[in-house]
């Protein structure tokens, strides 16, 4: 059986990942492709529990190392029970965030060592990397304004603007380092234009 494709959606807060993940899933299914939509942290029963630990506000501050290790613990479960089985069955996996988010949020936002993240990436993922990453990029203020309209902030969304500026810079650096995999999509343009750009990039993978 031909192995499926692994596509990830990345970007800071409020760039439209959820909306566009649903759009891409529908688009791929129109080509009779079997698609598994999932997210990180999360995607399995145990990984979703870890997600709640990471996103909820606690009286006890989560250390940076604990946060990083929890991210990869959830990822290990997700890969074993969702991502790899689906790809092996020839299904395409469409994931809302993956390891690029760890480089951006923990590496960029928390100023953690990229080499530590890289080591954990190799340990948990082995040779697994996305076939295509769609990086939705918008000015931080634009994204945060969209999040504000949704209501209450989770533990990450409550961070300062400077944190999200560092996250954005780290994402853009990842795009520079991996131009063959990470495709930058301007997310501050009208939705129809964003989705037109997404189709153009995904079309290359379909061929």
Domain ranges for the chain:
6-206
Query: 6-206, what's its fold?
Result: Rossmann fold (3.40.50)
145 band by pLDDT with thresholds 50, 70 and 90: confident
Residue 152: pLDDT over 70: no
Residue 148: pLDDT over 90: no
Angstrom distance (rounded) from CA 142 to CA 28? 29
Angstrom distance (rounded) from CA 45 to CA 133? 25
Cβ within 8 Å of residue 142, ≥6 positions away: 14, 188
What residues pair up with 38 in beta bridges, in sequence order?
A: 95
Angstrom distance (rounded) from CA 71 to CA 15? 21
Q: What is the pLDDT of residues 13-46, one digit of tens each?
A: 889 899 999 999 999 999 999 999 999 999 999 9
Whose CA is closest to 18, among 42, 1, 46, 2? 42
Angstrom distance (rounded) from CA 99 to CA 117? 9
Angstrom distance (rounded) from CA 110 to CA 170? 11
Residue 151: pLDDT over 70: no
Task: Name the more confident of 63 and 160.
Answer: 63
Cβ 93 vs Cβ 83: under 8 Å = yes
What residues pair up with 7 in beta bridges, in sequence order?
A: 94, 132
């Amino acid at each position: 059986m031909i192995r499926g494709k692994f596509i990830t959606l990345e970007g800071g807060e409020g760039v439209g990942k959820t909306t566009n993940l649903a759009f891409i899933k529908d688009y791929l299914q129109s080509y009779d492709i079997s698609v598994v939509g999932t997210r990180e942290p999360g995607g399995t029963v145990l990984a979703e529990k870890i997600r709640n630990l990471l996103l909820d506000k606690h009286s006890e501050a989560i250390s940076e190392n604990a946060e990083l290790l929890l991210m990869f613990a959830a990822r290990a479960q997700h890969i074993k029970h969702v991502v790899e089985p689906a790809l092996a069955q020839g299904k395409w996996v469409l994931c809302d965030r993956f390891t690029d988010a760890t480089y951006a949020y923990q590496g960029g936002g928390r100023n953690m060592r990229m080499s530590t993240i890289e080591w954990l990436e190799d340990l948990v993922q082995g040779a697994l990397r996305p076939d295509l990453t769609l990086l939705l990029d918008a000015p931080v203020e634009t994204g945060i304004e969209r999040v504000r309209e949704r209501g209450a902030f989770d533990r990450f969304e409550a961070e300062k603007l400077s944190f999200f500026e560092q996250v954005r810079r780290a994402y853009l650096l990842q795009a520079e380092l991996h131009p063959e995999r990470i495709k930058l999509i301007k997310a501050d343009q009208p939705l129809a234009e964003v989705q037109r750009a997404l189709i153009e990039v995904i079309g290359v993978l379909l061929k």
